Amino acid sequence: MSKTDTAADGTEPAPAPEAADAGEEKDLGSAGSQLSTAPQEDAGGDAPNLPALGVIGWARWFWRQLTSMRVALILLFMLSLGAIPGSLIPQNSVDELKVQDFKEAHTTLTPIYEKLQLFDVYSSVWFSAIYILLFISLIGCIVPRTWQFVGQLRGRPPRAPRRLDRLPAYTTWRTDAEPEQVREEALALLKKRRFRADLAGDAVAAEKGYLREAGNLLFHISLIVMLIAFAAGTLFKSEGGKLITEGDGFANTLTQYDDFKSGNLFDNDSLEPFSFTLDSFEDTYEKSGPEKGTPRIYRAHVTYSEGADGPEKKKAVEVNSPLEVNGAKVHLIGHGYAPVVTVKDGRGETVYHGAVPMLPIDSNVTSTGAIKVADGYRDKNGKKEQLGFNAFFVPTFAGAGKGEMFSQFPAPEYPVLALSAYHGSLGVDSGLPQNVYQLDTKKLKEFKDENGQLFKQRIRPGETMTLPNGAGSITFEKDLKEWASFQISQQPGNGWALIGAGAALVGLIGSLFIQRRRVWVRAVRHADGTTVVEMAGLGRSESPKLPEELGDLAGLLYDKAPGVPEPTEPTESTEPSTPEAVPAEGAEK
């Protein structure tokens, strides 16, 4: 490996503007200034050292700190750390049931966590404080940078520094061409290469890559757009769940929801009016192989109409394909079975007929539920009472005597309903909300079989279980229905969030892939009558291609203003070179 290419690899091709500003101010003058609009770092920015700063002084100091890059960096880091607990501790906003479970399991931790708002990390005071400060900092950073950038666009590229050979990339030669002619050629060349170029004194000053700064500003502004869109979405959103059995329908009003959550500024009148009916639910499963039973298709066929009574339309709602009505989205969340049962009382009259949704407890859709007959039941003596059944449903039963009552397959290949019967009071009048899928047996009495045990039975579609002592009967109808649960959500601001994200991406690409750099060409007449051409380039520290580009430009200009031999001994440079300067072959590849 020769010395030349080690040098090319081992050197930083250009100093960072900060370094240039700090160390070589007198050489470079303003040449390296404002190559980025990044705020200058205060050297000793720890504390204001003036004794009597006053309120305004302190406020200014605080503002300067807040809008410095260093604080932005720290706030960013805190934001990333602050987000972590929310992934390790259950969150109310994600799953309230999990939070309840956690609270019951960890009684000592819970009060501490609650104080620290660790169950609501993303709406907690401290998390909000971090990102609000960050965004104030961001605005405080963007506004002056934008002004500065506009100023740079209006102004001209800074004039050539006195000593061009001090710049990170430099080249020179002598020519017989006239200095004016060289400068004109250089100006034309740089302009052709889409530099903003200007003739000033004995040199041409040129700059390129302004889009980098524009991209960077666009990126940071887009972050604000995204934040506002997200905040608006959170404040105005509504989200609710609804379980619907085949044949049933839903209209989008508050009373129809099973559960409902909304943002702080949500207004009930803003629920989009529409309604839909679940016509049928289609599901298929892997029939064999190691992943037997894995769902392949989940599809809810619905008929919907927009507005109070718009025309009816059909749609198949799938997991990745929601029904959308004017910004309201209906997502398919879950599904299960709803056996249709008929209950007759002691006098033989039908007191209940309907589909009873059961909740799945495993992936083969073993389900549990409760059948409650609250009204109209009389025993054989005509006494009013309530009936309750604990129900267990399996779509595919393993066969009598074969183990537990667990389903073997999620599709209804051999459905069985297992019931145990109770009578008495369901406790529905106590005013407390009751879980429709569970039987509260506190005030219920068991029906007994001949052995004095709880009366229970497994029945297949079409079969009837007759209660003891003529208390009535329950029939598992042949018609097995399925249900689907939907999430109906509305969140304004999605469009803006998407626009913001897209713009952020474009800005980021501009900011990271475009190099901003300056090139100067000086041509002056030497005492011996020849013209000395000097070219130099300055970029940011991450401008690897700068020396290469300068070499390119120099080559083109060299063709227009060919070199002549040095009057003095060869292998001596025209200007006293700095000892640090090392040869390079353009930039590394």
Question: For residues 534 and 557, is the Cβ–Cβ distance under 8 A?
Answer: no
Question: For residues 461 and 477, is the Cβ–Cβ distance under 8 A?
Answer: yes
Structure tokens at 550: 């300068």
| One of 326, 478, 512, 528 touching another protein (CB under 8 A) | 512
At its nearest, how many Å lie between another protein and the CB of residue 305?
Answer: 21
Structure tokens at 310: 């718009």
Separation between Cα atoms, residue 25 and residue 28, nearest integer Å: 5
| One of 58, 77, 126, 147 touching another protein (CB under 8 A) | 77
By beta-carbon proximity to ligand HEM, the closer residue of 149 and 170 is 149
Pick what 220 binds: ligand HEM, another protein, none; C-beta below 5 to 8 Å, kind-dependent. Answer: ligand HEM
137 sits near ligand HEM (criterion: CB under 6 A): yes
130 sits near ligand HEM (criterion: CB under 6 A): no
With contacts defined by CB under 6 A, how many residues of the chain interact with ligand HEM?
Answer: 15
Separation between Cα atoms, residue 394 and residue 367, nearest integer Å: 6
| One of 153, 254, 512, 581 touching ligand HEM (CB under 6 A) | 512
Stretch that binds ligand HEM, among 67-75, 327-335, 342-350, 446-454 (CB under 6 A): 67-75
Question: For residues 508 and 202, is the Cβ–Cβ distance under 8 A?
Answer: no
Pick what 59 binds: another protein, ligand HEM, none; C-beta below 5 to 8 Å, kind-dependent. Answer: none
222 sits near ligand HEM (criterion: CB under 6 A): no
Question: For residues 299 and 282, is the Cβ–Cβ distance under 8 A?
Answer: yes
Residue indicated by tokens 């700190």 = 65
89 sits near ligand HEM (criterion: CB under 6 A): no
One-letter amino acid at 379 equals D
x/- letters, 492..511, toward another protein (CB under 8 A):
--x--xx--xx-xx--xx--
Question: For residues 237 and 262, is the Cβ–Cβ distance under 8 A?
Answer: yes
| One of 38, 188, 340, 405 touching another protein (CB under 8 A) | 38
Separation between Cα atoms, residue 69 and residue 464, nearest integer Å: 76
At its nearest, how many Å lie between another protein and the CB of residue 158?
Answer: 19
- Per DSSP, the residues of 105-162 read H-TTHHHHHHHTTTTSGGGSHHHHHHHHHHHHHHHHHHHHHHHHHHHHHHS-PPPPPS
What 8-state DSSP symbol labels residue 292? T
- Measured at the CA of 467, the angle between CA 465 and CA 470, to 5 degrees, comes to 130
By beta-carbon proximity to another protein, the closer residue of 75 and 471 is 75
At its nearest, how many Å lie between another protein and the CB of residue 285?
Answer: 11
| One of 163, 166, 174, 220 touching ligand HEM (CB under 6 A) | 220
Separation between Cα atoms, residue 429 and residue 425, nearest integer Å: 9
Cross-strand bridge partners of residue 464: 475
By beta-carbon proximity to another protein, the closer residue of 178 and 291 is 291
One-letter amino acid at 89 equals I
| One of 76, 333, 506, 524 touching ligand HEM (CB under 6 A) | 76
By beta-carbon proximity to another protein, the closer residue of 215 and 472 is 215
Stretch that binds ligand HEM, among 135-143, 177-185, 240-248, 518-526 (CB under 6 A): 135-143
Span 149-188, contacts to another protein by CB under 8 A: 165-174
Contacts of 560 by beta carbon, 8 Å cutoff, 6+ apart = 177, 182, 185, 189
Pick what 532 binds: ligand HEM, another protein, none; C-beta below 5 to 8 Å, kind-dependent. Answer: none
Structure tokens at 256: 């129809």
Residue nearest to ligand HEM (CB): 141
User: What beta strand segments (E) does 456-508 contain?
Assistant: 456-459, 464-466, 473-490
Span 81-140, contacts to another protein by CB under 8 A: 83-84, 86-88, 91, 93-94, 121-122
Pick what 344 binds: ligand HEM, another protein, none; C-beta below 5 to 8 Å, kind-dependent. Answer: none
At its nearest, how many Å lie between ligand HEM and the CB of residue 227?
Answer: 8
Span 37-56, contacts to ligand HEM by CB under 6 A: 38
Q: Where are the alpha helices (DSSP H) in 405-449?
A: none
At its nearest, how many Å lie between ligand HEM and the CB of residue 220?
Answer: 6
264 sits near another protein (criterion: CB under 8 A): no
Span 95-124, contacts to ligand HEM by CB under 6 A: none
Residue indicated by tokens 């508050």 = 254
